[in-house]
Amino acid sequence: MNSRWFWTLLLLCWPAELLFAAEKVRLQLKWQHGFQFAGYYAAEQQGYYEQAGLKVELVAATPGLKVLDEVIAGRAQFGVGTSSLLLDYAKGQDVRLLANVFQHSALVLLARPTAAEPDIQALRGQKVMLESGAEELQAYLSREGLTAQDYQLIAHRTSLPDLINGQVAAISAYSSNEPLILQQAGVAFYQFTPRSAGIDFYGDNLFTSNKLWQKKPELVEKFRAASLRGWSYAMQHPAEVIEYMQQRYPTDTSRAMLLAEAAAMQSLLQTDLIEPGYINQERWQHIASVYQQQGLLSAVPDLAGFLYQASMPIDLTWVLIALLVLLGLLLALALLAYITQVNRRLHQLLAQKRQQQSWQHVRSQILQQLLRDETAPNELMTTVLQLLQQFRPSYHPILLLDRHKELPQIVHVDLTAAGWADMQHRIAVFGDDCDTPGLNVLRIPQLGNPSPAFSDAAVGQLQFCAFPLQGDCGQIPGVLLVWQAQSFQTQDYDVLSDVGSMVAIGLERQRNREALKQSEARHRLLTDHASDVIWTMDLVGNITYISPSVQRQRGFTAEEVMQQHVSEALTADSAQLVWNQMLQATALVAAGKPYPEFVADLEQPHKNGGTVWSEVKTAGIYNEAGEFIGVVGVARDLTERRKTEQQMRYMAQHDSLTGLPNRALFMDRLHQALTYCSRHQRQLAVLLLDLNKFKPVNDEYGHAAGDELLKATGESLRKLLRASDTVARLGGDEFVVLLPQLESPLEVGRVAEKITAALSQPFALSMATVQIGCSIGQALFPDDGSDADQLIRIADEQMYQQKQLRQQSR
C-alpha cells in the first residue's frame, strides 16, 4: 500500500483529541486538597478534561495566597472563590463567575461554649478569627447587632488549635469537615450559621477572568462543562473519588472522615434537586442587597458582566430545516406503507380485543374485590361470583367448600327438597376430591331474576363444568361448579379456570391475613412490654414505631415520639452521627452489600428538659422484594452508666487531693503539645517545682494540715496560669507546669518568678499560718530536649541544683 494513503487513512480514523496536544490550564483551589474539591478530582479521574482536550493542573492554596490575584495575573486560568467575588467585581476587578458549585455556603462560625445555650452575643468584646473572603460572616454578625467595633478581628491561620486552646472565642470554618474534626476530638463547640439570619450565600464558586472569557470562550466552555460533569460523578460515587484522592492528592484526613465530609456536602450542593453549577440571578441580587445593607457596596452593580452566559451557537437553522423536510418525506412514505400493513392486522385483531377487554374489565373488578381486607369471606365470595354471572348471564356458579370448621359456611342453598336431592345426585362425583363428606354449597342467583330451579329441568339437559381450586388442597379444598343450559366452549374453560385460581388465591389471602394479625398481635405484646425501647424508622428519618417503654426512659409518650423526626428525637451531635450512618448504610446496601452493624451511644432529649444516654443497636428492614426500606433498633438506657464512667475517667486522670491533673494526664498533654510544636515550629516549656519547708509543716501540724497546704498550693498555681497551660501534681509536694505555646523564651522566667513570689506568701491554714517557698527547675523545647522524658529529666536536675544552692546558702 502507498505510504501516503496509509497515513491519510490513519489521520481520518484516529480520534481528534489524540492528534493534537492537550491545552494546559491551571485551577487555583482556595484551600488545601480535600473532598471540598471532589468534582475536579473526578473530572480528572474519569478523563472528562482529557476528552475536552485539556490538561488541568489542580493547585492547592498556600497560607496568605489570594486566589483572585492568581487568576488576574494569569498564573492560573480558573479559580475557586466565595461569594465575595461580587465585591471584587464591583471594585472593577476582571472577574467572571462560571458556576455556583455549592448552592449553600459552607462558611460557619465555631465558638467554644461559654453558656448553657448558644448565644452569638457572647462574642461581644472577644477575639474572632475570620478567613479571607468571609464577608458573609461579617454581614451575619452585623445583622445580629455586632458591629466591627464590638469584637476584635484576627487574621485566620487555617488551624483549629487557637479555638481549642482559648486563643480566640470563635473562628470561621467549613461546616462540611471542621465540626466533624472537633466532634472526633471530643471538643465541645457551638456552631452559628448565617442562614439562621436570612443570609444564604453561594459557596465555592468557579470563576475566571473576563479577559480569558473574551479571548478563549471555547476553552472556558469546555473546562466548565467537564468540571460540572465531574461534580455530578463525585456526589454519586464519593467512595471511588476518595480512593483516587488518597492516591493522587494524599492528605492527613482519614477515609472515614472524608466519607463523612461527602455526606455533609450533599445538603450544600443539592445535586439531587438541581444540576451542578446552577446560577440564579435573583439570588445574586439578594447577595448584593445584603452587602449593600452592611455598607460593603455603595450600589448594586449590573450583573450582566459578572454572571456566566453560554456562548451563542452558530445559526444552522436553514440546514436543519432542509434536513427535517427531507426526513419528513422519507418518514411519510415509510409510514404510509406501514399503516397499510397494520390496518389489515388491526381488522383481524379488533374483534378478539373487544372480547378480551370485556373479560379483563370483569377480571380487574374480581381482583379488586379479592384485595379488599375489610370484607368478610362470605361477602367477598358472593360478590366475586355475582361478577362472574354478570359477565355470562347463562352461568350459574356454585362454590363447593370443605373444612366447615376453618372456612365459614357462606350461603345456604335455596332450593326445593326435590331440587336439593337432584343437586346432591349431580355433584356426588366431586365428593371424592375433598377431605370430608358434606359439602357447604354457595349458589348465586341470577341478577334481576330468580335462578331456574333444578327441579324444572330434566336430568341430562343441564351442562356441568367443575374446576378444582388451585390452592393448597390441604388447607383450602373445594370446587368451583358452574352449570348452564348450553354446551361449554374453549373460551368458557379459560375464563372459569382463571376464576377458580383467583378464588383460591383470595381465600388463601384471607386466611394468611388472619394469621398475620395474630402474629402482629404477639409481636406487639412483646415490644410493648419490653424494658428496652424498640423502634423502627424509615429511610428519611421518620419514626414509624416505638415501644411504650420510651416514656420511662425519656418522659415522652409513644404517641408524642411518633410525631418526631430523628433530628428531634436526638441531640444535634447524635442526630448527625445517625444520619451519616444512614447515608453510608444506604450506599453499601445499594452497592449490594449487607446492612452494616451499627452500635453507638446516643444522647436524647428528655421531656423534663435534660438529656439521657442510650446504647443503640440497629439492623436493616427489607420488604418482600428484598428492598431496603428502613431500620429497626433497640435502645438501652445508659444514663447512670455514663455518669459512673465519667466519674471513673476523671478519677483516673486527676489527683484525688488537689483535683489537678495527675502524671498520666500531664504526660498525654505534653506529648500532644510536643507534636503540635514540632509541626508548627513553636516552643514550649516544662517547669518542675518542689515545695520548701513542707515536711516541717507536716511534722508539726499533722497530715491534715499538709493536705490543706497542698490543696492551697494547687489552687494558687491554677489561678496564676493561663487556661491553655497545665499544672499537675506528680506526687508528694512535687508539682509540674506545662507552658504549651511560647512567644518568647523570656516568658518562662517571668512565669517562674510569679510562681516563686506567690508561693512565698503566707498560707492561712485551719491550724496555723505558715510560710513556705519552692525550688523550680525548667526545660525548654527544643533547646533543652526533644522528647518528654528528656525535658522532665532536665527540669528535675535544675530543680535539684536550685534546692542544693538554697541549702548551701543557709
DSSP state of 532: S
Nearest of 81, 56, 86 to residue 71 by alpha carbon: 81
- CA distance between the termini of the chain: 111
Q: HEC states along 243-289? A: HHHHHHCCCCCCHHHHHHHHHHHHHHHCCCCCCCECCCHHHHHHHHH
Question: By the 8 A CB rule, do 617 and 598 touch?
Answer: yes
Q: Is the dihedral of CA 7, 11, 12, 14 positive or negative?
A: positive
Helix (H) or strand (E) holding 590: helix 572-590
- Residues 773 and 717: beta-carbon distance below 8 Å: no
Distance CA 449, CA 471 (A): 33
Q: Which of 204, 532, 733, 796 is catalytic?
A: 733
Query: Closest Cα partner for 536 from 527, 595, 585, 526?
Result: 527
Which CA distances in Å does 106 have to 79, 86, 202, 571, 660?
17, 17, 9, 21, 39
Question: Which of 783-789's residues contact partners 24+ apart within 8 Å by CB, and which partners?
Answer: 783/683, 783/745, 787/674, 788/667, 788/670, 788/671, 788/674
Active site residue 538: no
Three-state DSSP state, 479: strand
- What strands lie across the sheet with 463-468, from one edge to the other? 440-443, 396-401, 478-484, 463-468
Residue indicated by cell numbers 480569558: 212
Grid cell listed for 38: 471532589
Of residues 93, 284, 263, the one with CA closest to residue 202: 284
**Beta bridge partners of residue 227, listed in sequence order:** none
Q: All 3 cell numbers of residue 318? A: 436553514
Q: Are 195 and 137 in contact (CB under 8 A)?
A: no
Which triple of cell numbers denotes residue 7?
497515513
589 Cα distance to chain centroid: 14
Which amino acid does the sequence have at 48?
Answer: Y
CA atoms within 13 A on the CB side of 511: 15
Provide CB contacts within 8 A for 341, sequence distance 6+.
none
Q: Take residue 172 and report the three cell numbers written for it.
A: 470561621
Helix or strand holding residue 630 (H, E): strand 628-637
Instruction: Please answer whether residues 28 and 61 qualify as being in contact, where contact means their C-beta atoms are separated by less than 8 angstroms.
Output: yes
Question: Residue holding cell 455518669?
Answer: 643
3-state secondary structure of 648: helix
Amino acid, single-letter form, for residue 676: Y
Give the active site residues. 733
